[in-house]
Structure 1
Amino acid sequence: MRVLTAENIREAIDMDDAIDSVRAGYIALSKGRATVPIRGVMSVNDAVTLTMPAYVHGDPVSVIKVVSVYPSNVDAGLPAINGMVLVLNAWTGIPIALIHGAALTALRTGAGSGVATDLLARPEASILGVLGAGPQAYTQIEAVCAVREISEIRVYSPNSATVFAKALRKMYDVKIVRARSAHKALEGADVIVAATNSHKPVVRKKDVMPGTHINGVGSFKPTMQEVAAEVVLQSKIVVDHRESVWEEAGDLIIPRDAGLLTEDDVYAEIGEIAAGDMPGRTSAKEITFFKSVGNAVQDAVVAGRIAAIAEQRGLGVEVAI
């Protein structure tokens, strides 16, 4: 079995490749060509551990990810997200790779927003507003910049914005703005990314102009809500997977339970749009909202690609089990 670190992941695959892989995975998911059970959720104190298996029909591998999200780790200087992805031979079940879970999660989550931004944001979108400054925020920015010519990135985080903005200035030759508030980061933005662990809305109607595209990726529990109901109600809602979001996405569950929208108000899965079965943006003024709780099909396609390239190039460390 090959053990692959975060560094090995980036040696094997870049964001463009990850976006292409996730696009194919979303299409397989929406067309029923993937087996992706609803993920297992185990609450542990104030944290959560998730188990996420997936298999894309006909692929040479299947995967299972175990990932833990411990928000309070940040206070102790520890990563909030930890985990591993086990890659199995689809025909024999023999483990062939063990991949750094947090790095893979950040990469494939960013790639998912890359697919959505490519399909839903206005072609001329150039200003990106980002809420959150954790590992997910870095790959969200990377993915959006891979599909749009971004000239200005505004960031807001109540605790880490200064360090985050400083790091971004070393990575991107564009205008980087450390905003003083969430509103200042989002006002006038063409693309918005919400990558926080907030239980209360951080994206509000006053922050969103006509024609904006929103990627909501931070909330993954029914009690978490990054995007206010008033924003959701005026948006074209696109999701990664219908069944999953109605189990886990507080951004949709909370307004549904308040009687403000129904499950029929979801316009499409992103895989349906990627496959050409549904149109994406149909007006320059419409607000589009991509809500993702993360789907193991993303892990399956990206991990499978990484494992194959690592085998070809001899990346990582071979261990005998």
Structure 2
Amino acid sequence: MRQPIQISSEFIEENTNFLELINELRKVFNSNSITVPQRHHHDFPNPKTGKDSTLLLMPAWNAGKEAGVKIVTVNPGNDTFGLPSIQGSYLYLDAITGTLKAIMEAKSLTAKRTAAASALASSYLSKKNATSMLMIGTGTLSVNLIKAHASVRPIEQVFVWGRNLKKTEEISQTLSKEKYEVKAIASIDEKISEVDIISCATLSENPLIFGEKLVSGQHVDLVGAYKPNMREADNEAILKTSVFLDTYGGGLKESGDIAVPLKEGILKESDIKADLFGLCGETHIGRTDDMEITLFKSVGHALEDLAAATYYYSKFQK
């Protein structure tokens, strides 16, 4: 029996072209060929850290072609052990025989596909001439989100804020050779009302983005806060923006940024403009004018994982 190939995080890091990956996601969101069941989402206590861990199982298949399942744990207390909060693997399968074709490192794959999905949304929702960006958060996603957004918009300046100033400065150093300037800032308020794109990827339980600070023409990209008790934006931000989701299935209930306003009656499901299926299928045009404030909430989708896994498997086979 042929052994599955191993695709490492190093391979994924070295073989990502965000424009290519974004285009792959655009194609699958405009296709009805991939089946995605509701993902399994299980929280369990972690007595060592005092913070609950989460087990995610995310299957998807393209009948007669490929299939896969991502197995991920999210452990907010992993900084105690000097480890990233996200751990996991992606099992890539032949959908005809069921054989395991590849095992991929899921942390890098998740970061790349998540950033690509945000940039895909931005290609419909941010102003075409957006030149500035605020990145809130300093985790694995931050560098990827900056690179992905810069691949679809002419970004010239990026400001980075995080609770750990050292990590913020490390991101600036990591991106020092890019075509855009990256600067660490001491507070969100310094730049939030001045930039064209605001991207937020944190595990915050309390809002970091406040509607009173948002100004006409901005695009808000919410990527973190993956649980109903987490928030990255307050109710005023939701009221002030045109809201879009990656998918209705997960976006309506998995994150507090949408679930709480829905529960409180601040937001109605009918108020949500579209998801990525609607945007990529062109049933909604996205941004309507340069004054509109748009907001995209991402919780992740197994379709994105399968598309990314197929992308990296094809690269590995060349």
Query: How does the TM-score come out when normalised to structure 1?
Result: 0.92
User: Are residues 1:115 and 2:133 paired?
Assistant: no
1:18 positional shift: 1.0
Q: Which runs of 4+ in 1 moved over 3 A?
A: 10-13
Paired letter, 1:168: L
Q: Which residue of 1 aligns with 2:41?
A: 41
- Select the residue among 181, 188, 194 that pairs with 1:175: 181
Letter in 1 for 2:152: V
More deviation, 295-304/241-250 = 241-250
Quote the Cα distance in structure 1 between the aligned partners of 2:66 and 2:213. 43
* Other-structure match for 2:18: 15
Distance 1:260 1:206 in 2: 16
Matched, 1:152 2:157: yes
SS in 1 for 2:163: coil
Q: After TM superposition, give the deviation of residue 168 of structure 1 in Å.
A: 2.4
Compared CA separation, residues 219 and 25, structure 1 to 2 (3 A): farther
Consecutive unaligned residues in structure 2, runs of 5 or more: 46-51
Shift of 1:197: 0.5
1:218 aligns with 2:224: yes
1:131–1:185 CA contact under 8 A, matched in 2:
no
Q: Secondary structure in 2 aligned to 1:247?
A: coil
**Cα pair distance change 1:22/1:263, threshold 3 Å:** same
Deviation at 1:12, TM superposition (A): 4.0
| Alignment partner of 1:126 is 2:131 | yes
Correspondence 1:2 to 2:9: no
> Which has the higher mean CA deviation after the structures are superposed, 172-181 or 285-294?
172-181
How far apart, CA to CA, are the structure 1 residues paired with 2:257 and 2:241?
12
1:1-321 alignment to 2 at 5 Å?
Answer: 1-28=4-31, 32-45=32-45, 46-57=52-63, 60-159=65-164, 160-169=167-176, 171-312=177-318
CA distance in 1, matches of 2:178, 2:76: 28
Q: What is the aligned residue count?
A: 307
Displacement after TM superposition at 1:271 (Å):
2.1
Instruction: State the TM-score, normalized to the length of structure 2.
Output: 0.93
Taking the aligned partners of 2:266 and 2:42, their CA distance within structure 1 comes to 29
Letter in 2 for 1:88: L
Aligned partners of 1:155 and 1:185 also within 8 Å: no
Return the offset for 1:282.
Answer: 0.7
Unaligned runs of 5+ in 1: 313-321
Deviation at 1:187, TM superposition (A): 2.3
| Shift in alpha-carbon separation, 1:25–1:298, aligned structure 2, 3 A | same
Measure, in 2, the Cα distance between the counterparts of 1:180 and 1:286: 28
CA distance change for structure 1 residues 57 and 239 in 2, over 3 Å: closer, same or farther? farther
Q: What does the per-residue CA deviation read over 1:119-161, in whole Å, with 9 as the maximum and x for residues that have no partner?
A: 1110110010010011111111010000011110001001132
Hey, what's the Cα distance between the residues in 2 that align with 1:184 and 1:246?
Answer: 31
Asked if the contact 1:26/1:240 (under 8 Å) is kept, the reply is no
How many Å separate the matches in 2 of 1:84 and 1:185? 37
What secondary structure does 2:288 align onto? Answer: coil
Q: Measure the CA separation in 1 of the matches of 2:72 and 2:260.
A: 25
Given residue 84 of structure 2, which amino acid in structure 1 is its aligned partner?
P
Task: Kindly report the root-mean-square deviation, in angstroms, between the aligned alpha carbons of the 2 structures.
Answer: 1.4
Letter in 1 for 2:108: A
Aligned-partner Cα distance in 2 for 1:25–1:126? 28
Look up the SS of the partner of 2:114 in the other structure: helix
Is the Cα–Cα contact under 8 Å of residues 15 and 143 in structure 1 kept in the other structure?
A: yes
Partner Cα distance (1:290, 1:57) in 2: 30
The percentage of counterpart residues that share the same residue type is 30
